[in-house]
Structure 1
């Protein structure tokens, strides 16, 4: 049938669709709306190709949020020039340091230790003292040393404590000079030059700094100890409490023990240091007026919270070979207030001033300094 053959030819041609060549005769346009809406044979057979969807324009990219620049970090102060602790001319006037005891006294003591049983007791005591000084700490201990007046041996006591802790302990030890106007701690510890001070470091130290970063601004001392000077020796140098607190809080996590040589009472920084420290040392000369003024201060401290007087130790420094008071009786009177009391015996090496050399100290002085350091450290451990 011709009509059937023509219908099959149309279907086959539509099935080949796009693969076959286009027809040479274009289809006639529809003559009426009804004709336009009538489906073609290909549509009826379901073989008409679906045209590809029209591509929509890509959406415009969302602008990135505006980055707010971080505030600029404060500029660190420029490095100050180094300054010698002692002028070259003045250093030439110092005589050769002498030992704390004369030769005859040292020989007599050595003979007594050989012929008596005191040597064994002394060794046992030193062992107990060393064990007390080597106890671990969870947080850095801060020990403040002050006095009622100048010339009481405050800086000498601070230097003795710092060197004792550095000798017996494995963790770093810091000595801080918080007496910028009249302090002599760098001289006592043998520092040759000074650069960065406590006030300088208050603007520099940051939480992310390592111990190596921090010690780069300090004066290195023997046996794992460092010094932070209060000034470069300028007359009238000042240290405000804000700078002191900022430095001490920041440095506490780097050092196991920090010894602070404070101004004399009632200076403001000294009061802040005493209240913030875990133990306090009050240096006093073994004289009638020195003991009297120290006793008055201890009576005043009795009116403060109990831990203040319980964590305080008085050091009576014997300035001459024959003091003008009964030192034992004076020490007992001071103990009646609740404070601990230690007597630092007369030592020619300490009395001469200058650089403290522990190998030149008299044996009683070394033992007394070790006992003092152990008791103060134990007191600091009681207050967390």
Structure 2
């Protein structure tokens, strides 16, 4: 990635005692114990994911997946009290959760099954699925960061982040991390089906060391049911702190462990969102498919075009339909946004996504599933092309 001066500063902080110690953070290892150059191997390299070293607290040494959250009482790791697990949702709210419904109606699913009886239709569908899968499984030489942001709350940013996380975990064979960088009571843990959260980005910043293995790292993350891990921004409290320095430290330190990291950013023009867009390899700008949403997205694209570091080549716009009664001319909206030189992928209204709660890809309607899979393939293709 170009412009690595800030990365070198952060890597230097990881090697030496830093200001975090004065804030009660964990002591850093001496510089002599750390390699002189940052390790940039692909996350799938066995040396990176070796389980020969000490396993993470509560992890399974044979898989690297934590069987329980890290145990308390580790003063050598962190001088502050060990965070307690906090439920993602108040248990009383479970009564509000209705039955998950399929994105497509039964009539539409039946009609699609009948159309699949045609040999030509099946052949085309298989060919397209194979092409998308090849794009999603392409190898990466260094961890790729994909930042997802929006111009306002309620655009579907966390939903798109969860969908991308699910898709990358389904198709890829290297570790995938989903990082929440939205401290305004974000919904990403809910959308990913997490039951509880414990260690936050700020907590991780105090314990990270270059000598840690993947099995050490994952012991502090939330394991996701369908694969991959989640690092939340906080524990669902108002006023959770995540500053730019902490964000940069955590993302640089974790980039060598994970092939793809999906970052659910705060909405623009927040400092974290701008930093994430500047340092990411791929970017997804989520906008509602409304007149105001399209106008706002074009304003953001024009702003990105003027940034010192090129941002538009790695950017994809996700035009999200949040209602079944939307009257926006999507073709005209797409043409308007494409004038900025970026691809635009429409995400149609889907009953399963609109209901809220955990995202289950098997319940997505066909149109929504094809759109978000195409979005994931396109943004990864652009992210891999960034050096």
Q: TM-score, normalised by structure 1?
A: 0.80
* CA deviation profile, 1:34-55 (whole Å, cap 9, x unmatched): xxxxxxxxxxxxxxxxxxxxxx
Unaligned runs of 5+ in 1: 1-69
Aligned residue for 1:165? Answer: 168
Asked whether 1:213 is paired with 2:216, we answer yes
Quote the Cα distance in structure 2 between the aligned partners of 1:118 and 1:164.
24
Aligned to 1:111: 114
Q: Given the alignment, which residue of 347, 355, 358 partners 1:355?
A: 358
Deviation >4 Å, runs of 4+ = 70-73
How many residues are treated as equivalent by the alignment?
315
Which segments of 5 or more consecutive residues in structure 2 lack a partner in the other structure? 1-15, 28-75
Does 2:314 align with 1:311? yes
| Residue number in structure 2 paired with 1:334 | 337
Report deviation, 1:116: 6.3
Matches within 5 A, 1:238-317: 238-305=241-308, 307-317=310-320
Q: In 1, Cα distance between the equivalents of 2:180 and 2:377? A: 21
Query: Does 2:165 match 1:174?
Result: no
Shift, 1:306, TM fit:
6.7
Matches within 5 A, 1:194-213: 194-213=197-216
Measured after TM superposition, the shift of residue 223 of structure 1 is 3.9
Q: Which has the higher contact order (CA 8 A, sep 6+)?
A: 2
Give the counterpart of 2:324 among 321, 324, 336: 321
Aligned equivalents of 2:308, 2:127: Cα separation in 1: 36
1:64-143 equivalence runs, <5 A: 74=27, 76=78, 77-115=80-118, 117-143=120-146
Matched residue SS, 1:209:
coil
184, 193, 216: which one aligns with 1:190: 193
CA apart distance, 1:139: 0.4
SS at 1:92 equivalent: helix
Query: 1:196, 1:229 within 8 Å by CA — same for their partners in 2?
Result: yes
Q: CA deviation at 1:323?
A: 1.3
Deviation per CA, 1:59-86: give whole Å up to 9, x if none: xxxxxxxxxxx99962513311110001
**Residues 278 and 309, structure 2, Cα contact 8 Å, conserved in 1:** no
